């Protein structure tokens, strides 16, 4: 694991050597990266022998119980991914028989994406195990879970609003 004292020392040293540089973002970004790494470690055993990767599951989960037709463009928007990345991964999943595409009758440039029976079985096998790994990892939050979720939501929304602002 990442040593918190190393992280603190790194921030302190950067402040000392660059007194005019605002190093405060390092503290937030370091925690976000730490959390991301811990989430990856927690699900690693789930995916060691799985037929799907984490990235593939991220694409398939929204399709599992979608109550409306989903296009690749909409999926990219929902997941905050590039259209090219989504299209590339969808093509791989389609070749493996986990999803299919049906022409969009109102827009010939796009297609609706649906899980096949094999795709449903694959996601139903892996995703509950991933959720269990996350639940175990987050169990230590206890009653603070809601406060943490509010703070993380605030962070995500603040970051999104900054990205959507025109450059100064």
User: Could you state, in order of their start, the residue ranges of all structural domains in the chain?
Assistant: 1-49
Q: Is 95 exposed, middle or buried (0-12, 13-18, 19+ CB in 10 A)?
A: exposed
pLDDT, averaged across the chain = 90
Task: Output the pLDDT for position 109.
Answer: 84
**8 A C-beta contact, residue 112 and residue 63:** no
Task: Output the pLDDT for position 108.
Answer: 79
- Enter the tokens of residue 34: 């730490």
Positions in the chain short of pLDDT 70: 1-5, 166-168
């Amino acid at each position: 694991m990442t040593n918190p004292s190393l992280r603190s020392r790194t921030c302190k040293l950067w402040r000392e050597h660059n007194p005019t540089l605002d190093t405060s973002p390092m503290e937030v970004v370091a925690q976000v990266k730490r959390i991301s790494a811990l989430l990856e470690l927690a699900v690693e055993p789930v995916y060691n022998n799985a037929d799907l990767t984490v990235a593939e599951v991220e694409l398939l989960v929204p399709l599992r119980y979608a109550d409306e037709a989903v296009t690749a463009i909409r999926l990219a928007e929902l997941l905050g991914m590039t259209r090219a990345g989504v299209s590339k991964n969808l093509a791989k999943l389609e070749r493996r028989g986990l999803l299919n595409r049906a022409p969009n009758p109102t827009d010939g440039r796009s297609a609706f994406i649906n899980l096949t029976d094999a795709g449903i079985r694959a996601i139903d096998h892996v995703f509950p195990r991933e959720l269990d790994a996350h639940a175990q990892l987050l169990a230590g939050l206890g009653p603070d879970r809601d406060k943490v979720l509010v703070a993380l939501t605030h962070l995500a929304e603040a970051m999104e609003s900054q990205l959507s602002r025109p450059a100064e």
